[in-house]
Amino acid sequence: MTIFEKIAAHEIPARIVCETEDFLAFHDVQPQAPVHILIVPKRALPRIGEAQPGDADLLGRMLLAAPGIAAAAGVAETGYRLVINNGRDAGESVPHLHIHLLGGRSLQWPPG
């Protein structure tokens, strides 16, 4: 099991801000911004590069949850960024798909 499957199964703790039947959102343990939340499917899907057409509904619902999660975190008006790291060069470190939601400061572009 990945660390995120264990969090989804409530086997290890996390600061959960949103939970549905098939995904949840929780604060990143190594925040890169004042608001840094991860939106994570409960079932194991390693990365966006391995997503299948059958994952479209789940991925869509995860994306559509982001504005509400951002609003609850207080960054809807100031802005936020959604990031998916896929593979080595992108800095993927947990092989379980997750959407980073970052906000609460001015973010640089292009990203490093």
If the CB atoms of residues 61 and 100 are measured against ligand DGP, the closer one turns out to be 100
Give the helix/strand (H/E) hosting 81.
strand 80-83
Does residue 60 touch ligand DGP according to CB under 6 A?
Answer: no
If the CB atoms of residues 36 and 58 are measured against ligand DGP, the closer one turns out to be 36
Which residues are tagged catalytic?
Answer: 98
Position 68: which residue type? G
Rounded Cα gap, residues 33 and 19, in angstroms: 22
If the CB atoms of residues 17 and 76 are measured against ligand DGP, the closer one turns out to be 17
Question: Which residues, 63 to 102, sit near ligand DGP by CB under 6 A?
Answer: 85, 91-94
Among 8, 23, 24, 26, binds ligand DGP (CB under 6 A): 26
